[in-house]
Amino acid sequence: MNVGFNRQTRDDSVSDLAIVAAQPRAAEVERGKVLRRMALFDFFFHNLTRSAAILVLLILGGVIFSLIYGSLPAIRAFGLGFLTTESWNPVTEKFGAVAPIYGTLVTSAIAMLIAVPLGLGIAIFLTELCPHALRRPIGVAIELLAGIPSIIYGIWGLFVLAPFLQQHVQPALISLTGDIPVLSSLFAGPPYGIGMLTAGFILAIMVLPFITSISRDVFDTVPPVLKEAASGVGCTTWEVMRYVVIPYTRVGVIGGVMLGLGRALGETMAVTFVIGNAHRVSASLLAPGTTISATIANEFTEAVGDVYTSALIELGLILFVITFFVLAAARFMLMRIEQKSGA
Amino acid sequence: MSLYSHRRRVDAVAKALCWTGTLFGLSWLVLILGALIYEGARGLTPAVFTEMTPPPGSSGGLLNAIAGSLVMTAIGVVVGTPLGMLAGTYMAEYGRYSKLSTVVRFINDILLSAPSIVIGLFVYTVVVARVGHFSGVAGAIALAVLVVPVVVRTTEDMLLLVPGPLREAAAALGLPRSHMLLRVAYRAAKSGIITGVLLAVARVSGETAPLLFTSLNNQFWSTDLNAPLSSLPVVIFQFALSPYKDWQQLAWTGALLVTIAVLLLSISARALSSRGNYK
């Protein structure tokens, strides 16, 4: 339709020239018509795009509203006690969110402990140490890790990583830490293979590419002059990174880490495979546990009764609120570094 | 002098750690892809593409799951893309400096990384609970909700890259903004926007969590979008966690297929966008 539209205006302008002298009136009228039609279309298109933008807001509003609406029965039944009760009993319909929240926080913490230093190391490697020819292929390879769907991490974690950890890593951890007071309780119990440590491991691999690519991008915003000045006064490569680049990009790096944390908190399928789905709070990292998202994924379709379903939706609401604040903080920090690099 | 050698040592250690860290990170990719190809290729027979998902203990394929995934992804992308493009257009053009755009940009970035299982719960309460049964339509809606933020983001970014003089030239000819967009800006940003759509397809074609309680699963061939519909990721989930060897084998093969599809999509998206950069 637009092709025709445009050609018509072009023809009009040509005929305009011919007719101008003879019949100024008719041409004027025709021109006005076309212009009005174009203005009308522009008005229509403007409002169409604006409604689409507003719809994005409505989607978020809808998500929040529907989660609150869906969890009303559970909120009425348990009140704030939902957040402080550990028991999760579908038979007696007593539900508490402590175990899933605990599992979510612990697995994410393990993931961040592994992924943050590793991600920063890879980002430093990519920006400072990597031979130029390898920079792009390695960057792409790391980003491919981000592209692999989470269910693939799950099936790999269940059939490859968990047996490996069970046979080789976890027994070693248990015997190594047997006599050390705090660590021995962290690594207590039999090596199941699946459990919170394994889930944290998988999450670390999954968030690694996010932390790496954002850190690399913010490292690239450092003005070369700053780095050259530091090298000029005799700093080693590491000192340039440690005392110039990282302090300069601190806000952005923290933003990237928070973004990774947001991913780790909400990650579902990979964790569901390897967490063991046990509703209890256990000090040992080797013990099976559960996370908010794993509980929902495992139990939602089998949930019978309003209260059970609604308790699961309330878990979803809690997850959404936690990730919302983490992601909002991350975006806020990344926005600040963007302004800095723009200025 | 000793201070200097100490600093040299610290530097060497830090560099070595960065090297090993990178090798470590890359080894995950190799290990995961290696296991996938090793386990998945064994079950890659023609039957996978011609037969339905079997009951435990008998042989079968993944045809209904593949078809269900394709249908739902296609609908999700067809619904989500125009919406995302229009919203992105508003943010980059009509409302570039408006309050609304700032808010939408922020919200969109949050939706972009929001847990997909929450989107599943949203569609469940809005669609499935209202209608009273699981359906392929609900699954497609959930995927569309996931497509939108990706497309919004890339459309906005790509339109912002279109040089201002192009817009001014169009305006100088007397074209209204809508014509400038449709005839000039979209063409200039075409490869970038297609990249965004490809990335969105890559993202949703591996999504499992939002489908678990929207489209559920279906063991048989079905083209009824109003009924539960099978999808590859959900079948992988169900089969991998089962105790049956046949099912686990099919899960590995399905996982290989999904990964190949997703990686091909993201590699072609990357190739497309880098080609666009050189132009």
CA distance A282 to chain B (A): 24
Question: CB of A277 within 8 A of CB of A294?
Answer: yes
Interface contact A53-B119, CB threshold 8 A:
no
Concatenating the DSSP letter of every residue in A105-170 gives HHHHHHHHHHHHHHHHHHHHIIIIIS-HHHHHHHHHHHHHHHHS-HHHHHHHIIIIIHHHIIIIIH
Measure the CA–CA gap between A28 and A184, rounded to whole angstroms. 90
Residues of A in contact with B29 (CB under 8 A): 141-142, 144-145
Interface contact B11-A236, CB threshold 8 A:
yes
How does the average pLDDT of chain B come out, rounded?
90
Interface contact B21-A6, CB threshold 8 A:
no
Q: Does B159 touch chain A (CB under 8 A)?
A: no
Measure the CA–CA gap between B215 and B236, rounded to whole angstroms. 14
Give the amino acid at B172.
A
Of B70, B233, B211, B85, the C-alpha closest to B147 is B85
Residues of A in contact with B206 (CB under 8 A): 148-152
- The answer on pLDDT for B1 being more than 80 is no
Q: Does A274 touch chain B (CB under 8 A)?
A: no
Interface contact B18-A122, CB threshold 8 A:
yes
The pLDDT assigned to B276 comes to 53
Q: Which residue of B has its CA nearest to A330?
A: B110
Taking only the tens place, the pLDDT of each residue in A248-268 is: 998 889 989 999 999 999 999
Q: Nearest 5 degrees, angle CA A306-CA A67-CA B209?
A: 90
Residues of A in contact with B153 (CB under 8 A): none
pLDDT band at A277 (very low <50, low <70, confident <90, very high): confident
- Tokens 């090596």: give the residue: A191
Of A267, A166, A155, A289, the C-alpha closest to A208 is A267
| DSSP structure class, residue B224 | -
Q: Who among B109, B118, B237 is closest to A151 (CB)?
A: B237
Q: Does B173 touch chain A (CB under 8 A)?
A: no
Q: Who among B18, B31, B83 is closest to A124 (CB)?
A: B18
Measure the CA–CA gap between A216 and A139, rounded to whole angstroms. 9
H/E stretch holding A88: strand A88-89
- The answer on pLDDT for B104 being more than 60 is yes
Measure the CA–CA gap between A251 and A215, rounded to whole angstroms. 10
Taking only the tens place, the pLDDT of each residue in A109-162 is: 999 999 999 999 999 999 988 888 888 889 888 888 888 999 999 999 999 999
- For chain A, the maximum distance between any two Cα atoms, rounded to a whole number of angstroms, is 105
- The answer on pLDDT for A7 being more than 70 is no
Measure the CA–CA gap between A305 and A49, rounded to whole angstroms. 42
The pLDDT assigned to A342 comes to 57
Chain A stretch 30-89, residues whose beta carbon is closer than 8 A to a beta carbon of chain B: 38-39, 41-42, 44-46, 48-57, 59-60, 62-63, 66-67, 69-70
Q: How large is the ipTM?
A: 0.90
- The answer on pLDDT for A274 being more than 90 is yes
Chain B stretch 40-79, residues whose beta carbon is closer than 8 A to a beta carbon of chain A: none
Q: Does B205 touch chain A (CB under 8 A)?
A: yes
Taking only the tens place, the pLDDT of each residue in A77-117 is: 998 889 988 888 888 888 999 999 999 999 999 999 999 99
Question: CB of A125 within 8 A of CB of B18?
Answer: yes
Q: Does A329 touch chain B (CB under 8 A)?
A: no
Interface test with chain A among B33, B208, B266, B277, by most A beta carbons within 10 Å: B208
Of A292, A238, A231, A236, the C-alpha closest to A265 is A292
Residues of B in contact with A126 (CB under 8 A): 22
Interface contact B104-A39, CB threshold 8 A:
no
Q: Who among A45, A70, A152 is closest to B36 (CB)?
A: A152
Interface contact A45-B181, CB threshold 8 A:
yes
Question: CB of B65 within 8 A of CB of A34?
Answer: no
Percentage of chain B beyond pLDDT 70 is 98
pTM higher than the cut 0.95? no
Interface contact B117-A69, CB threshold 8 A:
no
Residues of B in contact with A144 (CB under 8 A): 29, 263, 266-267
- Summarize the confidence of residues B191-201 as an average pLDDT: 91
Interface contact B206-A151, CB threshold 8 A:
yes
Interface test with chain B among A134, A148, A161, by most B beta carbons within 10 Å: A148
**What three-state secondary structure class fits A337?**
helix
More confident residue, A337 or A329: A329
Task: Name every residue whose Cβ is closer than 8 Å to that of residue B175 and which is 6 or more positions away in sequence.
Answer: A38, B183
Q: Does A216 touch chain B (CB under 8 A)?
A: no
Interface contact A67-B208, CB threshold 8 A:
no
A298 to A25, A196, A199, B216: CA distances (angstroms): 74, 16, 15, 13
Question: CB of A314 within 8 A of CB of A82?
Answer: yes
A256 to A115, A217, A326, B205: CA distances (angstroms): 12, 10, 11, 25
Question: CB of A277 within 8 A of CB of A182?
Answer: no
Percentage of chain B beyond pLDDT 90 is 65
- The answer on pLDDT for A286 being more than 50 is yes
Residues of B in contact with A149 (CB under 8 A): 205-208, 233, 258-259, 262
- The answer on pLDDT for B236 being more than 50 is yes
- The answer on pLDDT for B86 being more than 50 is yes
List own/partner pairs for B190-193 with CB under 8 A and 24 or more apart.
Answer: B191/B272, B191/B273, B191/B275, B191/B276, B192/B154, B192/B157, B192/B158, B192/B161, B192/B273, B192/B276, B193/B85, B193/B151, B193/B154, B193/B155, B193/B158
- Among A183-192, A277-286, B211-220, which stretch is predicted with the lowest mean pLDDT? A183-192
